[in-house]
Amino acid sequence: MSLFENIGQVFRSGDDKQNVLSEVSQYHDSHLPTLWLMGKTGAGKSTLVQSITGNSEAEIGKGFRPCTRTAKQFAFPESNPVFQFLDTRGLSESGYDATQDIKFCAKQGHALIIVMKVGDTEQDDILRAVQQIKSSQQIKNYLLVHTASHSASDPNERERLTRHNRDQVEETLGVGIASVMVDFKLPDGGTDGVEDLINALSEMLPIVAVLLRKKQCDDEEAKEFQELQTKVLWYSGVSGVSDIVPGIGLVAVPGIQWKMLSDLAESYGTQWSKAALGELLGTLGAGIGVRYSMKFGTRQVVKFLPGWGQTVGAASAAVMSFCTTYAIGRVACKYMYHKEHQEDVSKEELRALFYSAFDSVKVLAGREVSCSGDTDGVSQTTDQASARREADASTVSE
């Protein structure tokens, strides 16, 4: 039975699929890859979140009055989130003991962003916290963000001040740290360095690049897909975690994929149906070689996909589910776009797109899925994903 036939069949086989979907999506949304922000009161943490997400709920303090009262999570995008910021309260608030937050964040955070205002060289509390975090060995990625960079107008002075803070952090960590300078509030209302910040965040979490770096594309179909890409990535993440949520497993994946197709169809002004599924199947043809079995799950898919030979044994089922769901979503969007415009699209084109879409999210999948679970197999996948990182593109492109 082909993958697509299976999707239809599994979805029809029970009414509780909806419950499974909501259970899995809840799990997904509460285990998002997390960028944990740490810095003194007034360092600019909330401003950073607001500037990146556009979420005005990240309270911005006036001056140095402590303002974020507790740690807050900002899922991004708000609907169909694929990563989140954890905006912690400033660590220099008097009487504040960071130990509990550190414990919580060390579990929840996957990368630590240390925020320091240029010119604020008194960072002992932060350095103590960084030391604690380092000792916990739970955070592997660190980034130092120097905010209010234009407060030092002389470039040499700016360089001296930022170097001073970077040296302090590096001494604490015992290794070098990537750093960026940014100013979110220039007198003319503009910003400086936000693009560098996005690039640095993308280095730590490739999915940031997909969401925040808008690609130029001339092709109308690809442009339309860009609008839907986050949704497809969200369903891919949900499929990926279904392998991790206890008691659900691979059986949920086809149901999630069907739900995604129905959801995408709405965006193309149509309805997903058995007939549509059949037609897409026919267009792709059995030759796509994607076979799916309940017993072996998406691992089977790998055998037929070019370029996956070496990683077959190591890649986790969760990563396969992520990539397969993404590729199906991508191909279905192209199929529906051309249908909507009453244009033909060749089988070869759709098949090639399926493979390239699958390939383009390999790195993302490794990161996304690994953030959602603590199993050995999954964290192994992160390391493999990191190892492949040099070779693979970190953004989704076809």
Q: Applying CB under 6 A, which residues contact ligand GTP? A: 39, 41-47, 60-63, 66-68, 89-90, 147-148, 182-185
Least separation in angstroms between CB 36 and ligand GTP:
13
Residue 119 Cα to chain centre, angstroms: 33
- The two three-digit tokens of residue 284, written as one number: 């792709």
Query: Can you tell me the distance from the alpha carbon of 214 to that of 326, in angstroms, rounded to the nearest whole number?
Result: 18
CB-nearer residue toward ligand GTP: 212 or 281: 212
Is-contact 297 253, C-beta < 8 A? yes
- The two three-digit tokens of residue 85, written as one number: 């910021």
CB-nearer residue toward Mg ion: 68 or 149: 68
Binder of residue 148, out of Mg ion, ligand GTP, none (CB less than 5 to 8 A by kind): ligand GTP
Least separation in angstroms between CB 70 and ligand GTP:
10
Q: What contacts 107, CB < 8 A, 6 or more positions away? A: 138
Binding track, positions 158-187, relative to Mg ion; x by CB under 5 A: ------------------------------
Query: Can you tell me the distance from the alpha carbon of 398 to that of 61, in angstroms, rounded to the nearest whole number?
Result: 42
Taking the alpha carbons of 77, 78, 82, 83 in that order, is the dihedral positive or negative?
A: positive
Least separation in angstroms between CB 68 and ligand GTP:
3
Q: Which amino acid is at 282?
A: G
Q: What contacts 137, CB < 8 A, 6 or more positions away? A: none
Least separation in angstroms between CB 77 and ligand GTP:
21
3-class secondary-structure state, position 264: helix
Binder of residue 298, out of Mg ion, ligand GTP, none (CB less than 5 to 8 A by kind): none
CB-nearer residue toward ligand GTP: 63 or 95: 63
CB-nearer residue toward ligand GTP: 64 or 296: 64
Stretch in the footprint of Mg ion (CB under 5 A) among 6-14, 42-50, 151-159, 276-284 = 42-50
Taking the alpha carbons of 148, 35, 178, 175 in that order, is the dihedral positive or negative?
A: positive
What are the backbone dihedrals phi and psi of residue 315, each rounded to the nearest 5 degrees, phi first?
-65, 135
CB-nearer residue toward ligand GTP: 115 or 256: 115
Binder of residue 396, out of ligand GTP, Mg ion, none (CB less than 5 to 8 A by kind): none
Q: Name the region of 119 (left: φ>0; alpha: ψ -120 to 50; beta: rest).
A: left
Angle between helices 253-267 and 17-29 (to 10 degrees): 90
- The two three-digit tokens of residue 345, written as one number: 């699209």
3-class secondary-structure state, position 205: coil
- 46 touches Mg ion by CB under 5 A: yes
CB-nearer residue toward Mg ion: 42 or 206: 42
Least separation in angstroms between CB 169 and Mg ion:
20
Least separation in angstroms between CB 55 and Mg ion:
12
CB-nearer residue toward ligand GTP: 41 or 372: 41
Binding track, positions 57-76, relative to Mg ion; x by CB under 5 A: -----------x--------
Least separation in angstroms between CB 155 and Mg ion:
28
Least separation in angstroms between CB 194 and Mg ion:
18
| Residue with smallest beta-carbon separation from ligand GTP | 90
CB-nearer residue toward Mg ion: 60 or 194: 60
Binder of residue 41, out of Mg ion, ligand GTP, none (CB less than 5 to 8 A by kind): ligand GTP
Is-contact 229 237, C-beta < 8 A? no
Q: Please tell me the count of residues contacting Mg ion according to CB under 5 A.
A: 3
Beta-carbon-side half-sphere exposure of residue 264 (alpha carbons within 13 Å): 34
Query: Can you tell me the distance from the alpha carbon of 19 to that of 295, in angstroms, rounded to the nearest whole number?
Result: 22
Which residues contact Mg ion by CB under 5 A? 45-46, 68
